Amino acid sequence: QVQVVESGGGLVQPGGSLKLSCAASGIIFSIYAMGWYRQAPGKQRELVAVIGSGGSTNYLDSVKGRFIISRDNAKNTVYLQMNNLKPEDTAVYYCNAGRLVGAVKYNYWGQGTQVIVSS
């Protein structure tokens, strides 16, 4: 019943921009922290950006100043605006909805969207 669906990936040249979207359903969206992760082939998945239920944000050091995470609770959607893209940003980007209540951890993942930064 819970669905997390990313969109907006594609091929972009170095220095270009791309905006990813992630729509979640089946959860009370406003109380979940929303995060963007990425994983390159053969590499560990890493957290790129996260936005808390209260709107606080944190970013991977290598994307600070280039990426912006935001959320629209009315649309149950989180965004990742990516600017000045670099080849090292190439990865599958995953959206995550996370919540910890008591000792119970809830963690929902999207299917991923491919971002390729190349000339």
Q: Work out the burial of residue 101: count CB atoms within 10 Å of its CB; fewer than 13 is exposed, 13-18 middle, 19 or more buried.
A: exposed
How far is the C-alpha of 49 from the C-alpha of 19, rounded, in Å? 13
- Three-state secondary structure call for residue 78: strand
pLDDT for the residue 33: 96
Closest alpha carbon to 57 in 70, 46, 72: 70
Distances (CA, A) of 67 to 28, 82, 108: 26, 4, 22
What confidence score (pLDDT) does residue 71 get? 98
Which residue type, as a one-letter code, is found at position 71?
R
Token couple for 96: 């995550």
pLDDT at 101: 87
What pLDDT, on the 0 to 100 scale, is given for residue 69?
Answer: 98
Number of neighbouring beta carbons within 10 Å of residue 1: 5
- What's the count of helices (H) and strands (E) in the chain, helices before strands? 0, 11
Ranges of residues in the chain with a pLDDT under 70 are none
